[in-house]
A and B are shown apart, each in its own frame.
Chain A
Amino acid sequence: MFQGLARLGGMTAYVTLEHVSKSYGDREVLAGVSLVISAGERVALMGPSGSGKSTLLNCLGGIDRFDRGVIRIGDVDLGSASGEALTRLRRKQIATVFQFFHLLPTLSVLENAAFPLLLNGIPEKEALAKGREWMERTGLTHRMTAYPDQLSGGEMQRCAIARALAAGPKLLLADEPTGNLDSSTGDKILDLLETLTREQGITLVMVTHSETATRICDRTVHMLDGKVVEPVTA
């Protein structure tokens, strides 16, 4: 039904959630969420703390299981996918940008960006060359040999974005990507995210508390008490 709605709007659904529910003990954190996100669409998820947006992001990333309902990324049904299939999905199709960057401390900036490619079996020389391209795109060419503990917050997030996009994912999940940055740096990071996702045709789902961050998104989905409280279309 939801895919049908999306098609009616002339778009191809890439992410589909149908009546997704999840509980921690007695507490229901997702209560029948339904949502359709088209390929290449940028969606902001907003809502107060405890509304379920981070849990929803975790379920979309396949790192948390849900109790009921259906989540489909492309043609993969996350509910019935094996652990191995979810790992493959994370490696090839889904990337995540975190609020606290989570760069790998032993790797240089360039190596951090190239690492997902190495994981996918790309030869080191090729992976590093591609990593360098992403250094240029994210404006980190001058910091390629630096290590994470030598970077500013903005530089760390640029590096995290380069790492997330280097392997060519189709879906980028961003968990408050500007939450740990000052407003000026945050703006630049948002611009970078918008430019790169638009260029690459990547679907973006971004959890944020900031109204200004929603400016790069095609629509905003509000959540409250584990439910989507806005219309499902933009």
Chain B
Amino acid sequence: MTGGAALFWRYFTLRHWRRSPGSHAVLVVLLGVGVAAFLGIRLANRSATAGFEVFTETLGAGAPVTVESAAGAIPVDQLRGIRAAFGVRSVVLLPSVQTSVRLGDGSVDLVGIDVVAVRNLPEAAGDDGSLVPRTDAESAVFQDALRGEPVLLISPTAARRFGLSVGDALTLGSDSGAFAWRVGFILPEALDRGAAIFLGDLRTVQERTGREKSVDRVDVFPMPGVDMGESVRTAVQAALPPGLLLSTPGERQSVSQTLSAAFRMNLSALSLLALLVSLYLILQSLDAAVVRRREEIAVLRSLGVRAEQIKAAWMLEALTLGIAGSAVGILMGVLLARVSVGAVTETLGNLYVQGLSRGALWSGREVLTAFGLGVGASLLAGWLPARDAAMTPPAQSLGRGGRSLPIQLLDHPLYAVLALGVGAVFLRFPPLVLAGGVRFPLFGYLGATAFAVGMSILVCLLPPRVAKGVQNLRREDAMLRLAASQLRRLSGRHKLALAGLMIATAMAGGISLLVHSFRGTVTQWLDGQLEADLFISARGFQHPGSPVRIPTESRDLLLRHASVADAEYALMQRIRYQDQSAVLVGLSARREGSERIWLHRPADGLAVLRERGERVPVLVSEPWLRRFGTGVGDVVRIEAGGRTLEGIIRGVFADYANEHGSVVADAGVVAAFLGEDRTATLGLFLRNDEDVRAVRDELQTAFPALNVRDQRALREEVFTIFQQTFSVTAALKFIGVAVAVAGLLLSQISLFLERRSELRVLKELGCGRRELMAAGAWESGILALTGGTSGLLTSLGLGWILIYVINRQAFGWTLRYAVPLGSFLAFLIAIVFAGALAGGISGHKAASLPVENEE
């Protein structure tokens, strides 16, 4: 810090902060809220997604490579082929299964590992926290397990969560029944990653969960000195049986994060909006401070302080604010993350991977990023007021009247045309394709921003016309006439407030429109999807990645039930297709699916799946179409477990269940391909005279391992998840508009401060507090009406971009555009009311200005 800057900082910045700590504390907290929203969401995201790795990496025990199947499990008979692929290299293979089992009313993760293999693991494998037994007690448990005793090693989190200690007995339920287990050992804290994990011997777990014929993965541990570098991995991959994939922990981490990357990116983009609205409010507040302290600045100028020094002093003040606000924001953000991580984890769990635990809540990189963004936002917000301060003339010139900062961008409609043109070009660009095939609609966001900026410039042309129209309604109202006269020649400050309000309203309206359209589309989709009376899945099943399934015997019993007239069921399996995550569905379609939303409907609907020909007829979802660029007539080739499924695409349907893409074939074909016939979901159509609820209760009692839900319950569940997913956007929408209205209030106060000489005249003419409040209310109310109306009109365009560009690029979903007219109207009334109220408050404050200050 130079001597001059330090002088200004000590003599002015700090003094002003000491003189009015309250208002400066508010500014610090405002910036803090923006930083906190950004950091909190990022940390919660990070913590929730860290849970993706916890399970697999604990299980992986630090294995440098792992073999998994591209679709489904690895048949046990392929273990020999895996062994052979490594040739003469000395490695230990650690096969394992993982499955969800019932414990009490909930479900937990049960992992079966090959105890014999664990005993053979090289010593070095235990260095990074693997499961290699290191104590006598641990070895004894492994010995017991080897003898076939049902003992479990559990994670410290599992022990704490379920109140278990060594020697306790517990019952775990699975598709195959309920079995007694004993807690043999609690894993050391060093191995705990926040997940409730139960480990047992592979064979025992397989027998007790009906998984004797397959394993989920094989972790590979090289003996000391064995090279497992990239070239070796490439050679091994080539030698592996078809459909098996070799991966490193880094690659698996990338895949698991890819699953929810689009969701997290969009959440991050929205959290940035919170920071942007803070930036806007700080700009308004610093601008108001410049107006309040203009006399001081003018005196400094007359004392010989250079314009650049004034500017530097204000930038230093913005920097101080940025540092203080960011520091507060980091504290608030960590607290916010603690609160919100549960919600984010639950949402991610519902949408992507069940049973997520939470990772660490602290990340130095995220904190530094948030700090940098906070300081950057503050400096950016401080630039315009600093420029305005530097342009303040020396004291004597003040007598000529107030001056509002000119904002060139908002003065020329040509800039609007330019911004709209640039926006239109951006919208033509494809999304960025990141690692793992994640599609980020960067240009969509840029196009939306350019569109909003263009419209915010155009809206500055409107207030004089709106003011004239309103004035004509009440020609005798003196204060309205006064307010209208202020709006005839719009100041830079007016324009900034108006543009801010318009953008905030447009953003909020656009998000409302998107959510409304989404909800409408999902409702229609559910109508097509939920045709059956009852829906059945295994307890704990929530998405294709869930390991639990309906046992085949249970399914057959249900299909033969006396109340059931017809049924449809689906097999589901998460697969790797063209190195990306996707879903394979086997559907036993009984109906044509005429209620479904089709992008390309085959002539005979779902019945096409039953056709037999050279190639298997398949249907693909819209996200599949967009991610893999294949459409009707193209061939889909999936390999797994030494088998190949070659299908030809016959139709494309809308699917809002996942954004990774689904390929649907006949259930029998998929069962043959996967080598197993375990049903994920089952829909039952009851006979006409059956009482749905009674049958539901009867089946639920008869099959406690299954979840039996009627249509209504399932709908409610879907919409609960829907609400949960969009709860963050609703909060951000509210923050955005609240900040814009607060900006209007600050702006109006600044305008009154700037017009102090005019105020004295008004007071001398007999205007009291009531009249000044009325003048403020009219002025701000008209601005709010203009900003609100144009903002909502702009939101029609923003909504279009969100639905047809951003959403389609990120998730691959087509939504039906629908305008929430009722909520738009209510929103407009609220904005105009809030704007008028803000103006009234500023008028009230103006009436309290001391007369001696009004030279």
Contact = CB atoms under 8 A, between A and B. Distances in A.
Q: What are the nearest 5 A-B pairs in CB distance?
A: A91-B304, A106-B15, A63-B394, A90-B304, A102-B299
Given A100-B855, A102-B298, A107-B11, A175 B304 contact: no
A119 B3 contact: no
Contacts of A61: 302, 394, 396
A10 interface: no
A104 B397 contact: no
29 contacts: A54-B396, A57-B396, A58-B396, A58-B397, A61-B302, A61-B394, A63-B393, A63-B394, A87-B304, A87-B306, A88-B304, A90-B304, A92-B304, A96-B302, A98-B395, A100-B855, A102-B299, A102-B395, A104-B12, A105-B296, A106-B11, A106-B15, A106-B296, A107-B15, A115-B11, A116-B303, A116-B304, A119-B7, A119-B303
B422 interface: no
A89 B289 CA distance: 29
Contact of A119 (B12, B296, B304): B304
Nearest to A101: B299
Q: For the side of the interface on A, what is the size category?
A: 20 to 34
Contacts of B299: 102-104
B305 interface: yes
A102 B392 CA distance: 15
B interface SS class: helix
A63 B305 contact: no
A229 to B, nearest CB: 23
A146 to B, nearest CB: 14
A198 B143 CA distance: 107
B292 to A, nearest CB: 10
B394 A102 contact: no
Interface string A72-92: 000000000000100110111
Contacts of B3: 121
Contacts of B7: 118-119
Interface in B371-397: 393-397
B475 interface: no
Contacts of A155: none
A142 to B, nearest CB: 22
B697 to A, nearest CB: 75
Contacts of A116: 303-304
B691 to A, nearest CB: 79
Contacts of A98: 395-396
Nearest to A62: B394
B303 A91 contact: yes
Nearest to A147: B19
A102 B295 contact: yes
B300 interface: yes
A41 interface: no
A5 B300 CA distance: 37
Contact of B16 (A64, A106, A121): A106
Contact of B12 (A87, A88, A106): A106
Given A63-B302, A91-B303, A175 B396 contact: yes
Interface string A188-214: 000000000000000000000000000
Contacts of B19: 105-106
A115 B396 contact: no
A63 B395 CA distance: 9
A104 B302 CA distance: 12
Nearest to A86: B304
B303 A90 contact: yes
A53 to B, nearest CB: 12
B201 to A, nearest CB: 75
Interface string B286-324: 000000000110111111111000000000000000000
B855 A84 contact: no
A105 B297 CA distance: 11
A103 to B, nearest CB: 8
Contacts of A63: 301-302, 393-394, 396-397
Contacts of A102: 295, 298-299, 302, 395
Give the residue among B300, B393, B394 with the most A Cβ atoms within 10 A.
Answer: B394
A110 to B, nearest CB: 12
Contacts of A175: 396
